[in-house]
Structure 1
Amino acid sequence: MSEFSRFQNALTDTGRFQSDDTAVPETITVLHVDDEPDLADLTATYLERQHDDFEITTQTTIDSALETLETESVDCIVSDYDMPSMNGLEFLETVRARDGDLPFILFTGKGSEEIASEAISSGVTDYLQKEVGTGQYPVLANRIRNAVEQHRAKRAVERAQKRFSKLIENSTDVISVVGDDARFQYLSPSAKHIFGYEPEEMVGEYIFDYAHPDDRQGAMESFFEAVKESDQQPVVKFRFKHEDGSWPVLESRGRNLLDDPDIRGFVVNSRDVTELEDHERTLKRQSDQLEGITNAISHDLRNPLNVAQGSVELARESSEPEHLDRIERSLSRIDEIVESTLVLAEQGRRVSETGDVSLEAVATAAWEMVDTAGANLRVEGSATLVADESRTKQLLENLVSNAVEHGSPSPRTSCEDAVEHGSESHSDDAASDEGVAVRVGVTDDGFYVADDGRGIPADEREQVFESGYSTTETGTGFGLAIVKQIAHAHGWCLSVGDSADGGARFEITGVEFSDR
């Protein structure tokens, strides 16, 4: 018996795939065919006396018997052998052409070893020779019942197996049986549409040859530990090499049934959780974003509110205009923070619609929206991005603004003035008379924005993208956080380093181009 057969039988025996329609009905319908009417009626009478659930239909010709089979459902046929139009075995052959395993009992007075042998070879369910007296009818009744119950049990198993096969074939899980040597012994048909391989071609393969190299060691440790400790039921997530070359994330739940004689393997249920993993990452990113916004608002709004409230009290006590000026500046500051917060929340949504976007055109448009303060822009090559044009423009506006406002070549005395992480701040020395040079260019898998300013210290490069992180009192700290959100919403990666001119270089990768 194959591993798969043992596996099916084990599941079927538990009744997991049985349904109510497998129960034996109360009535057993029998078609009795005998060309002697009196004997046929007598047999029917005694059979119905033996069992109340027997329902006997009697026919005296083969033609009428075949008509009955056309119109009625029959559980068993009891037939004589020697009849005028065709004998019992010829009748059996006709029945088998219609129904390959309907119970058929040859009940005949013409008995011989030759007929019995031929009957068995022809596939008769049972053979019983007629005798004198009524003692033969309880035997015939029991033969009928046994034949029908075995036939119904066989049909029930077949239905259960068919249902099981359809379930595993259309399941979103792959059921596999793995030996203690970590080689596939069986894979359910669903492996084809989940893994991309035909199940048969994977049998005998080492399962961890399909695991991503970075995930292989951890998966192997979990498996072999569970092989040694039979009570463990590990759950392992790892990347699996699909037939098309992709690496979907699988979640595999295993159970050690190596000692089970029906399985003799490690049963593993695996499902593709790639979309779920992406969804969880999106939720975490949104949660982190919300936490950052909350922290920024609670921190950044409190100061201007305190200033405004204190200035209102002073203004009530005196008529000095500087108190009203402070209130106006505080309210303006609050307005900037609220506006940046709304932008940050909006730009964090995943991009659902994209189009062709010219990097050169969108960079020029973004430049025109920024107070460049004597700076200059150079677009070094162009390409057509597959992106959301509005959000890409916002991303470039924030990067250009950051470069112009905080990339001045003139030295500063404090490292806190080295970079501003938002587009809203206004430093007194934001740009020298010479102005900063900003370059926008194309890479193999994305684009960059670089300047020739003073750059960003290495120990600050992770912090610059945090919501609310600012090195000046006037910045909201949302400018580069918005850049990060827009990049992630597109599925892009964002990094910052040194430019060739000594300033900062922001690089966006993972970009799709429509003109390449």
Structure 2
Amino acid sequence: MKEGVNPIRILHVDDDPGLAELVSSYLEKESSQFEVISVRSASDGLEKLATTDVDCIVSDYDMPRQNGIEFLENVRDKHTDLPFILFTAKGSEDVASDAISAGVTDYLQKGVGTDQYTLLANRIRNVVNKWRAEREAEQTKRRLEAITKNSSDAILTIDSTNTIEFVNQATEDLFGYDVDTLRGNSLSMLMPERYQEGHRSGMERFLATNERSLDWTSIEFSAQHQAGHEVPVSISFSTFKEDGERKFVGVLRDISERVRMEEELREREERFRQMAENIQEMVWMTDPVEGEVLYVNPAYEDIWGRSPQDLYDNPQSFANAIHPEDQERVKKILDPQSTGSYEEEYRITRPDGEVRWVYDRAVPVKNNAGEVYRTVGIASDITERKDRERKFNRAVELRDQTERIADVGGWELNPETGDIFWSDHLFELIGWESNREPSLDDIVNIFVEEDRPGVKDAVKKALTESESFAIEARFQRSEKRNRWMEVRGAPQTEDGDVVRLQGAVHDITERKEREQALHALYDITSDPELSFDQKVQNLLRLGRKELETEYGTLSSIHGNEYVFEFVDTDDDSIQPGDVVPVAATNCELVASSRQTVVIGDVERDAPEETSRIGFTEWGVSSYIGAPVFDTNDVYGTFCFYDTEAQVDRFTAWEKTLVDLMSNWVSVELRRKQTTERLQNQNEQLGQFASIVSHDLRNPLNVAMGRLKLIQEDCDSEHVDAVIRSHQRMQDLIDDLLALAQVGEQKGELELVDLAGVTSSCWETISTTNATLQTNCNRSIMADESRLQQLLENLISNAIEHSGNDVTVTVGELDDGFYVEDNGVGIPETGRESVFEPGYSTTQDGTGFGLHIVDQVVKAHGWDIQVTTGPQGGARFEITNVEYSTE
């Protein structure tokens, strides 16, 4: 058999062996396509047919037990269309008729000669080819029926008149028409009206010319649904002939979902484009394999200072713009071979030389094979953020430095969570040694037990009533020494609720100790019952007490401790530099056998200023002393030694206190013979004012200057709070200095125009919208500068307590004058306390203003009382005043 030829298997049934063999030989000789299987009877043929596939049966008629017709009938029971040729020598019409009735495929009478086998071979070939064609057509038909029946696509055929001949079930599902309605109707019923004329003319042109105006594959257009809406479809056409007539078959697919997704994708792409084209961040996409820039939005030009086209033309320019100090680090992640995601901050240099910071992040995009084929990213200009961070860090550094300079620590409490924040300096200030963050109970418990209720109440009131507070409380550090702290708190509210409580803590130990010492100093120096010697002794005892509070007993210059001696140098045998027993000095204040160093012949040298001399003997590193006079002679020196081991612990307060006392001693002795007691006291207080001004104003000015720098870079309510605290300290210093200058003294009395002094005071005070009325025409005997202090404080007090629009009236009394306002007045229960030092009803008040007023009144010998004015405001009446008789 030739390769590629489809074989034909023939079952030959004949009871004559010789004839059967002859037929087989001739048939196989006629065509190598033939394969003949020979059997001797009909029963053998049926048995062979049951196990073997054949394409044709050739059977004799006359055979024992079962003839050819009977054999045919048995074959047709199972094989209705299998080709069957009756090849018989009996050629009667009856046989032929019976064979046709039994379903024979062909009938051939045996003849003489070999031509009959050629004829038989042709007959076999023809019937088999026809049978095969019909069977294939039937199979194709069944396949098509299955396809059309089960296809989700609509399939239809139309004739040349545009009439629908066939539709499948999917057509009904797609268009809403039932199958019977569509058959026999025009295809135009499935088209929107705008397409119908074009379809008609196109079909006519094709039938006439056989030329197509468009590709018939996957044409997309909108079809018309029975309900009236349009359905997007994709249709493919083909043509065929049937019975000589040109017909068409079409396959339509519903693409509604695809169209919807494409439309959604287009909308997304448009939204992305609108976003990418208008956002400030640079959006980019690259091909990491080819190193190409596929997309960059216009923000690239705003940030990099170069056009997107420049980047498309030269992708390397992106990396070249990176700041030289950042290039090595960043180029590694920008390498086209690097396919990982990244987030990086780096600097770029624009063509104009400007340096900017960018925050760049990118992610890889993979294809279906899992390969990275795109990198997309977004880069933001963070230059301003970096500047803010730098300024913020600077502000934090300055804030921390300011806290240390001002010795103030900050804190914040979240009432909802109970979380507490402490600034670093507050940890140092409090001496908190635990690794954990402190709780609210921890904070309360650091104070001494008797001060805890006050702290708790202040915090509770701030949280429940939104009231700010400023309290003083003591706490005990690890060295077992109580320290004074001023604790301030200010609630922050939202919608009437306290959301956080913020405040500051200031170590005021030195201030409290200084206040106590100054009070004691004031009591000693102003006590008229004490003699000069008693005052000197009491001052020395006060100094010894103050300097022993923290560092132990003052006993020896040899034991790393202080020595505080009063050296009598009346003995001519004692020379400068001598070391003599204390007993040899006849010093009443030292009752021991200690030795002391004689500094110099004070009777001969008689230094009038405090001496500061350095020594190396005995470990003495510094000496502070002042000469002490008795009448006209110097008889001793008030001395203070600081040993080398203690020099770092010798605080500014201690030095100030010693200076204050030693200066006072020398001044007191000097003034004893030349001035009145009150004038001596005034000079001493002047010295005190100078010290306060120097020791408090200078560091305060430094702190306020630092805060101004912080305020330029950082807008924070904490800075404002510290500024207010500094201003509060400034006010206190001003009032303390005023108080020190006033005392209970006055200068020379003179006639003073009361109305004129009042007007001068009004011009020096910040009165804003306040109003002054004067109802006085006479002059009084007074120290003009002290009277001006009195009026300034009374007017300021009225404005401070009654508001900027208050009216202040100064008028005459029979034996004095009054100052009144139309404000809220002073409750009767508080009138006894208003002149006490430190008393104030406002948070910003120092409490010294009215005390100064009281001191000026007493210095002049006048009287003062507080009443209520005609308009309900405060009224201060100063009486026992001497008016001019002129």
TM-score if structure 2 supplies the norm length?
A: 0.30
Which structure has more strand as a fraction of its residues? 2
The structure showing larger relative contact order (alpha-carbon pairs under 8 Å, at least 6 residues apart) is 1
TM-score if structure 1 supplies the norm length?
A: 0.49
